[in-house]
Each structure stands twice: as structure tokens, then as C-alpha cells.
Amino acid sequence: MYDYFSKRRNDLRFLLKKSTPFNLFHGKKHYFCAMISAFATQLESWYETFGRDLPWRRTRDPYLIMLSEFILQQTQICQGTDYYLRFAERFPTAESLAEASEEEVMLLWQGLGYYSRARHLHAAAKLVSEAGFFPQDYGFARALPGVGDYTAAAIMSFAFGEPYAVLDGNVQRVLARHFGIGEPVDTGQGKKLLRALADEMLDRQHPALYNQAIMDFGALQCKPTSPDCVTCPLADTCQALREHTVDKLPVKAKRTAVRDRYFTYIYTRSADGQTLLCRRGSCDIWQGLFEFPLIESEKPLDMAEVKREVRKFVFDADLESLSLIARDVRHQLTHQRLHTDFYCLTLPHAASKNGQWIKESDLDRYAFPRLLEKLLSLLGAEGNLCG
Ligand code: SF4
């Protein structure tokens, strides 16, 4: 651990010499050291009053903390809390989760999105279960599937009180603004600087308290838009406030490219109340989840084009019943924007060239991506819009 932190400190010293954000301190080392201590104290004191009381903060069980961190990656706390409580009740230990089937885990995860998290969580629980306990070892946590620097630091500090600083988007924003970091946070140099700064600012006596405090401070006070600088306890020392750059920081170098994809889903049902499902493959979004027969195209399809594609998966069928339920249902993923047309088709018999037929009344036993849940809700109870 000594080597880890001494290396970070060297990084910080090196970067501070090259960067200008710390001109507030005019090179006065003693002033900077006092600043570190005051920064942590003010955040912790703010947290005592305004910090959020969250269920996973009432435990020091590393497995439950890991569970909460997986659920909260890319998920709002208000949505993630219910999932955390359901998972913690159904799988209170790593062993219980390790023994569950993938189908059961995916079904419980349904609606949260980013399903690779569920698969990684399941795999991580199996490794913890095989180890027999969750060791107090950063290297072990960091090597678990789906666990990056942030999650490993969260588990180590919250469960074991180990001095590892978390660095998520909230923490980046607080540090970048308070210390006036103009370096883009998504470049190698910017990441290195913020990592070194995060480690330097950490309250090593109370790492869990400090980490929770700075994350909540970023989420509630130093928010992405309209931060509450008027009541901010750090306002006197905030470089961004002093230099009128609050709305410019943190800086990002790259804009994420978003790809448009065009889907046509066919809810295919038989006259005796069965429906056709397919399972997603492993090289795309929603791996392992279920969906209706899908046609993907470069652009939206008209009815004639849809019929031509449908004939590829049904036997000689009268496609007169094919009807449009909804056009251009939008669904946003991190790097993709999905445009979906949704059709319904009723066949006389449950027969097709691929997929599996299930009773429509059993649909809730299958894990679907959120977009498909949205489409099902458009369809109404048991496909009653399908005529
Ligand atoms: S003064 Fe404003 S920008 Fe600076 S730390 Fe406080 S809330 Fe963030």
C-alpha cells in the first residue's frame, strides 16, 4: 500500500508542477496541506447534516456493498434502491447468489438495463463463494469481473475502512471545480491528475465517511447543472467559483458518438394463445435476454418490406393479420439510439422456422430488455390489440 500511495503522490507533485490549477496556493506547501485537511473536514461536516440514508450504508458486509455498487452503476439511486432490497432479500449472501440460475438472476434484474452487470455480478458472487469469504484485499476485489477502480475502492473503504479514494463522476466534478482543473477529465493526463488529487484529498482516518461525503456532495450540492454555490461550505476556497468557471468545469475532450439503429419487432402469436420468443446472442446488446422476432435494417421499413422479412421466419402464412401497433418507439442506450417499429401478427398455428413458443400467460417468467417491456405495455393485456 505504501508504494501505491507514494506513487500517486509523486504523480500529483509532477502534475502540479506542469498544471496551473493550484495557483490559488501560490506554491505554498503548508497552505496546501492545511487545505487538504479543511476540505475533508468541511465535506464530512456537510455530510453529517445532508448525507443520504441509504440501505447499503447500514451494512459493512462486502458482498452486499458489492451488490449495491453493481446495481448503482448507470442507475439512479431512486430506481436502484428497490432492486437492491429485492436482491438482498432473495440473495442475502454471495453463496446464495452463486447457486442461482442465470435465468433467475436476469429475471430479478429485468428493467435495470445494462445486463452485462448482472452477468458480472453473478460471476463475481461465484468467485467470492469459491474463496469462502470476501478477503480484505484490494487486488482480489479489483480482479472480480465487472469491478473497476471505483467499485474496488468503494468495497474496500465501505466494508473494511481501507484508505482507497473513490473517483466517480460526482467526485471528478467536485475536484475539478474546487481545484480549478482545466485539464479534460477524459484524457490520460486529466485522469492521472484527478486520480492523484483524489488520493491526496482522502481522509485516511475515515475513508468510508469521506468517500460517502464527497459522492453525496457531488450528487446533491455540486450538481452537474445549477450547483448550489450560495450555500456551499467550500465556496471560500472554490477556484471555479472565484474564476467564474463553474459551468465550464469539468472539461471533457471527447463527445461520445451515438449510433442510430432501426429495429422492427413482430409480436407473433398463435390462435391458441402462444407467442414466439427468441434469445439474444452474445455479440450485441442485451446478451441472453428474450425478445420477439426482430428485423434490423439500415432505415425504417415499409409494410411490404416487413412482410418480405417476416416470410423468412414463418411458414407459408397469410400475412393479412400483420398490423402496425406503434411506429418509431425511441429507446436511448449509452452509445446507441434505437428506433423501433412494432407489429403484431396472428398465425393459425404455433409454427415457425426458429425461436420458441410459449404461452402468452407465461410472458412474465422471461427476462426482457426495458424496450421490450415498453412494447408489451403498448400491446395491452395478452395481446388484445392483435385482434
Ligand atoms: S462553490 Fe459551487 S462549484 Fe464550488 S464546490 Fe461549491 S457547489 Fe461546487
Q: Say what the pLDDT of residue 25 is.
A: 46
Cα 62 from chain centre:
19
- Within 6 A (CB) of ligand 1 lie 174, 177-178, 221-222, 227-229, 232, 234-235, 238, 240-241, 246
DSSP string, 22-91: GGGGTT-HHHHHHHHHHHHHHHHHHHHHH----GGGG---HHHHHHHHHHHTTS-HHHHHHHHHHHHHH-
Ligand 1 center to residue 178 CA distance, Å?
6
Residue with cell 429475471: 107
> Does residue 4 carry a pLDDT above 60?
no
pTM assigned to the model = 0.74
Cβ atoms 62, 160 nearer than 8 A: yes
**Rounded Cα distance, 142 and 133, in Å:** 15
Q: Say what the pLDDT of residue 285 is.
A: 87
Q: Say what the pLDDT of residue 6 is.
A: 54
> Does residue 260 carry a pLDDT above 60?
yes
State mean pLDDT over 355-384. Answer: 86
Which residues does 222 contact at the CB level (< 8 Å), separation at least 6?
A: 170, 173, 174, 177, 178, 228, 232, 234
**Rounded Cα distance, 113 and 330, in Å:** 15
Q: What is the dihedral of CA 165, 166, 168, 173, to 10 degrees?
A: -40
Supply the residue whose CA is at minimum distance from atom 4 of ligand 1. Answer: 238
Same fold across 2-248 and 259-386 = no
Cα R_g (the chain), whole angstroms: 25
Cβ atoms 69, 212 nearer than 8 A: no
**Rounded Cα distance, 193 and 170, in Å:** 16
Ligand 1 atom with minimal separation from the 238 CA: 4
Ligand 1 atom with minimal separation from the 173 CA: 8
357 or 384, which is more confident: 357
List phi, psi (to 5°) of 254.
-110, 145
Mutate to test the pocket of ligand 1, among 172, 221, 249 (most ligand atoms within 8 A of CB): 221
User: Confidence class of residue 23 from pLDDT cuts 50, 70 and 90?
Assistant: very low
> Does residue 41 carry a pLDDT above 80?
yes
Comparing 123-132, 212-221, 375-384, the range with the smallest average pLDDT is 375-384
| Domain ranges within the chain, ordered by starting residue | 2-248, 259-386
Ligand 1 atom with minimal separation from the 233 CA: 6
Supply the residue whose CA is at minimum distance from atom 8 of ligand 1. Answer: 222
Q: Say what the pLDDT of residue 26 is.
A: 44
Q: Which class is domain 2-248?
A: mainly alpha
**Rounded Cα distance, 279 and 290, in Å:** 5
Mutate to test the pocket of ligand 1, among 174, 181, 217, 244 (most ligand atoms within 8 A of CB): 174
Task: Assign a CATH topology to domain 259-386.
Answer: Nucleoside Triphosphate Pyrophosphohydrolase (3.90.79)
pLDDT > 90: percent of the chain: 72
Please say whether the dihedral angle defined by the alpha carbons of residues 224, 228, 234 and 236, taken in this order, is positive or negative: positive
Residue-wise pLDDT tens digits, 172-212 = 999 999 999 999 999 999 999 999 999 999 999 999 999 99
Greatest pairwise CA separation for the chain in angstroms: 83
Q: Say what the pLDDT of residue 137 is.
A: 97
For residue 185, the 8-state DSSP code is T
State mean pLDDT over 42-69. Answer: 97
Is cis: bond before 250, omega within 30 of 0? yes
Q: Say what the pLDDT of residue 1 is.
A: 41
> Does residue 258 carry a pLDDT above 50?
yes
165 or 289, which is more confident: 165
**Rounded Cα distance, 90 and 97, in Å:** 8
Mutate to test the pocket of ligand 1, among 35, 172, 237, 241 (most ligand atoms within 8 A of CB): 241
Q: Say what the pLDDT of residue 79 is.
A: 86
Residue-wise pLDDT tens digits, 304-325 = 999 989 988 888 677 888 999 9
Write out the three cell numbers for 258: 451515438
Q: Say what the pLDDT of residue 387 is.
A: 57
Could you list the active site residues?
A: 69
Ligand 1 center to residue 227 CA distance, Å?
6
Cβ atoms 182, 170 nearer than 8 A: no
Ligand 1 atom with minimal separation from the 229 CA: 2
> Does residue 37 carry a pLDDT above 90?
no
Comparing 61-70, 93-102, 213-222, 284-293, the range with the smallest average pLDDT is 284-293
User: Confidence class of residue 354 from pLDDT cuts 50, 70 and 90?
Assistant: confident
Mapped onto helix, strand or coil, the DSSP state of residue 299 is coil
Write out the three cell numbers for 6: 507514494
State mean pLDDT over 9-18. Answer: 55
**Rounded Cα distance, 235 and 240, in Å:** 9
Beta-bridge mates of residue 291? 278
User: Confidence class of residue 40 from pLDDT cuts 50, 70 and 90?
Assistant: very high
Q: Compute the mean pLDDT over every residue in the chain, rounded to the nearest whole number.
A: 88
**Rounded Cα distance, 88 and 338, in Å:** 32
> Which of 18-32, 203-217, 268-282, 324-338 is predicted most confidently?
203-217
269 or 383, which is more confident: 269
Supply the residue whose CA is at minimum distance from atom 5 of ligand 1. Answer: 178
